[in-house]
């Protein structure tokens, strides 16, 4: 049931997963992704190697832990958008929230994963594949939320356009942070550019997926 408190077993499982990911990222940041083994991650997290793989299917997944939750939140925002809110509005708000977080100062901890990825060609390739998978997932979310037919190409075009707009802003933000740009100034620089990008897209997509005030949004 939605809103039900997390059970003890689930909390322990989540805590173990988070501890493993934190240990992995610390080692990757110190020595580089390729130089660290899964066995070393397991030892640092005080778990068995089998436990690591119970939580993460691959070594690369250790770096990108948390991405599933972010994607799920975006899917939920699309499905549960208020009446009168378009699909584009959801992506615009997501971009604005990301820039708000950067302006507030995520600190050096927020740059750990970008630095790890920057120094690993294998992770850069994996990130590109992951973004494509996310885009495909969002296609399904947009199609369901707008009641499109299964073979309709429009949700695919809309979802991929908006997903890659969000990704482009994300990449520009972290490139700036990695280059040492002040977070508040970086967010202030990117905010009007992001707004212009969404405004441009809104000329064609601004009302896509907008339900009338008395309509019920698909869950």
pLDDT for 209 beyond 90 = no
CA distance 182 to 2: 40
Beta-carbon contacts of 206 under 8 Å, excluding residues fewer than 6 positions away, are: 86, 88
Q: Of 58, 76, 94, which residue is a domain's last?
A: 58
**pTM of the entire structure?**
0.80
pLDDT digits (tens, 9 = 90+) for 124-162: 999 989 988 999 899 999 999 988 987 899 999 999 999
Q: What is the tally of structural domains in the chain?
A: 2
| 101 and 197 co-located in one domain | yes
| 121 and 172 co-located in one domain | yes
Question: What letter would DSSP give residue 152?
Answer: -
| 154 and 71 co-located in one domain | yes
Domain range for 174: 67-205
| Burial (CB count <10 Å: 0-12, 13-18, 19+), residue 172 | middle
* CB 205, CB 87: distance < 8 Å: yes
CA distance 67 to 15: 16
């Amino acid at each position: 049931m939605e809103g039900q408190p997390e059970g003890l077993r689930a909390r322990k499982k989540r805590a173990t997963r988070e501890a493993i990911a934190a240990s992995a990222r610390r080692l990757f940041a110190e020595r580089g992704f390729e130089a660290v083994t899964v066995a070393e991650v397991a030892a640092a997290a005080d778990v068995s190697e089998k436990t690591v793989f119970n939580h993460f299917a691959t070594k690369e997944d250790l770096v990108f832990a948390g991405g599933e939750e972010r994607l799920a939140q975006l899917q939920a925002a699309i499905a549960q958008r208020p009446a009168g809110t378009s699909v584009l509005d959801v992506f615009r708000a997501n971009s604005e929230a990301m820039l708000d977080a950067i302006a507030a100062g995520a600190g050096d901890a927020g740059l750990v994963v970008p630095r790890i990825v920057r120094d690993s060609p294998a992770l850069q390739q994996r990130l590109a594949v992951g973004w494509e998978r996310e885009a495909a997932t969002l296609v399904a979310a947009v199609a369901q939320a707008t009641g499109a037919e299964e073979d309709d190409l429009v949700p695919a075009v809309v979802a991929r356009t908006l997903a890659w707009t969000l990704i482009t802003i994300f990449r520009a933000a972290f490139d700036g942070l990695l280059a040492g740009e002040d977070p508040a100034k970086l967010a202030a620089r990117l905010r009007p550019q992001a707004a212009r990008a969404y405004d441009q897209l809104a000329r064609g997509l601004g009302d896509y997926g907008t339900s009338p005030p008395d309509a019920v949004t698909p869950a």
